[in-house]
Structure formats: structure tokens, C-alpha cells
Amino acid sequence: MIQAVIFGIGTDIVRTGRIRSAVERWGEKFLHRVFTKDEIAYAYQRKNPFLSLSVRFAAKEAMIKAIGKRIPVDLTDIEIVNNEEGSPSINPRGKLKQYFDHQNIQQTHVSLSHEDDYSIAFVVIEK
């Protein structure tokens, strides 16, 4: 029986106002540099899109910490999606997907939480 091994862990916390300020200052340019079109669409369907954007930004930063300095990735290569029940997961794209395939990454786990002012994310990568 082959057992999964933890390949990396990462956590990040983001102030919601920081993301709001970035969107207000740089608009679409910022949004499309950091988020996929599906992440943007999902966020703007929410009552407060900045909570959704900030928690996704925290998850992307947590993923970067979990992979360490092994490979540089674009933030849009890390897509945060929700399943039918609303549980978040990471959809690796681009360089990150290639790296995961090469490293035989089996699964990622992500936990997201937010309050009015802060968003936090925790990521575990299994190999």
C-alpha cells in the first residue's frame, strides 16, 4: 500500500481592504493579472466581491508557500474553484499543472476563511 506524503504546506492572511484598494487603483489590469476570469465572475456574483477576491488571493499565496522555491508560477496558474457543495479546491493550470504532473502530486487540500477585514487560507499538497 502506497501512502501519501505531505509535499508542502502553506498559509497566508490578507487584509480585505488591500485587495479592494488594488482593484480600485488598477482595476481590470490588476484583476486579470491575479485572477482567472471564472474567479472574477464568481467573486462579483457575491454580496461582497472583495471578501471572495481576498480569500482567493490568500489561497494563491498559500499555494506559492507550499511549493516553496521549486518553481515560479503565475498567480493565474493557481485557480481556486468551488465544488457543488461549495467546498474550495485548487485547479492547477499552466506551469503549475505541468509541475504537479511531473512531481506526481496526488492531491491538494485548501481551507479558506474570511471575516470583514481579513481572509486566511491554508494549503496542503500531497505526493
Active site positions, annotated: 65, 114
**Is the dihedral angle over the CA atoms 89, 105, 121, 55 positive or is it negative?**
negative
Asked if 76 and 35 touch (Cβ cutoff 8 Å), the reply is yes
At CA 15, angle to CA 68 and CA 121, rounded to 5? 45
Place of cell 479558506: 112
